[in-house]
Amino acid sequence: MIDRLKYLCGYSIPLVALASIAFPEHFAYGALIYAFGIIPFIELLAKPNATIRPDAESAASDRIYDIMLMLGLPVQLFTLAFFLYQTSTAEFSVLQLIGMTSAAGIVCGVIGINIAHELGHRSGKLEQFVAQCLLLSTQYAHFFVEHNHGHHRYVATPLDPATARKGQSLYAFWIQSLFGSYRSAWRIQRNTLKKKNQSFISLHNNMLLYLLIQLATIFSLGIFLGWFSAVLYLSASLIGIILLETINYIEHYGLLRKQNASGNYERVVHGHSWNADYPLGRMMLFELTRHSDHHYKASKKYQVLESYTDAPQLPAGYPAMMLLSLVPPLWFAVMDARISENGEGLSQRLPHHIA
């Protein structure tokens, strides 16, 4: 039971964020320090763990893992509601508001978008509904369309806006992925409707529904809580989105699939995504850091994702790599040496350790 419940440590981030929002006078930047100070420091001291549960087959059908994901929706909505209530009923300094907004934004990224990513790959209607609700709460609902039908199809190719090219800075990638992914989602939706002979202006157009719901959310907040609250909400959502796109940057940076003479790309394999086997990050992000296996078989549940010897390894966990990516010269110096001339990630396999 303890081994299963270890993933609940991911909810320590919203707990710290709630403390930041509740006590901004003393703790406004607590979530920021926890996520990008304490966690990366602990991971630097920890050894990567490339093991997997021996009872992986039974773990895949264990509902407790699904329940821990479903908890994400009430946690996400409560955090945003508390954040908006606090900031609309009392006055805070600019520095306090920045800290509180960053706390809500970190929850949007770690809980809202990350858990939505996992649930969005499930076939069950309830899981997909929860995934869409989480993404709508972060103003990033188009991710549900583009990620599953665009990114996973074109990853590690020039056709994928969410794959960073070797030598591309994080800041240039943000622009590429933010705008490119949104355009891609509309294109995918249009083609889907065309194949089904369904009207673009209809309830079948999910992208249109997402847009209307997201706009209604913003205007409702503006009308009932004030436009300053709407701006704070959009700012928190943007922080969550930027966190997601920064993770996208480090997950596939510089990796390419080979293209044959007919123009077709090779199948996605473990070498087309960067892995990070650091235990704390694995638990807190629901195994998102075992990204190679996820792309190899997207339907595989997070609790049974494995680490393979042909999967290229990041030199540190996600939080530390995200900080590194903010300084392009340092990022290039560390990461470019890990990419071969033909665009393959060098595995640089670290030893296996007991969990």
| Residue where the block lists tokens 């807190």 | 284
What per-residue confidence (pLDDT) applies to 1?
60
Note the pLDDT tens digit of each residue in 127-141.
999 999 999 999 999
Backbone angles phi, psi at 123, to 5 degrees: -90, -15
Residue partners of 57: CB distance under 8 A and separation at least 6:
304
Residue partners of 336: CB distance under 8 A and separation at least 6:
166, 167, 254
104 touches 236 (CB < 8 A): yes
263 touches 248 (CB < 8 A): no
For the chain, what is the mean pLDDT? Answer: 92
Token pair belonging to 341: 């001339």
Angle formed at CA 290 by CA 114 and CA 124, multiple of 5 degrees: 50
What per-residue confidence (pLDDT) applies to 354?
33
What per-residue confidence (pLDDT) applies to 346?
64
| Mean pLDDT calculated for residue range 334-347 | 78
E-strand stretches of 33-125: none
Q: Backbone dihedral region of 348: left (phi > 0), alpha (psi from -120 to 50 degrees) or beta?
A: left
Looking at residue 205, its amino acid is N
Q: Strand, coil or helix: what is 206?
A: helix
Note the pLDDT tens digit of each residue in 6-64.
999 999 999 999 999 999 999 999 999 999 999 999 998 887 876 655 555 567 778 99
Task: Please give the share of the chain, as a percent, with pLDDT higher than 70.
Answer: 93
For residues 355 and 337, give the distance between their C-alpha atoms in angstroms, rounded to a whole number.
30
Handedness of CA 268, 257, 282, 116 (dihedral sign): negative
| Residue where the block lists tokens 């996605």 | 268
Q: Strand, coil or helix: what is 123?
A: coil
Q: How many CB atoms lie within 10 A of CB 67?
A: 9
247 touches 288 (CB < 8 A): yes
Angle formed at CA 201 by CA 196 and CA 207, multiple of 5 degrees: 80
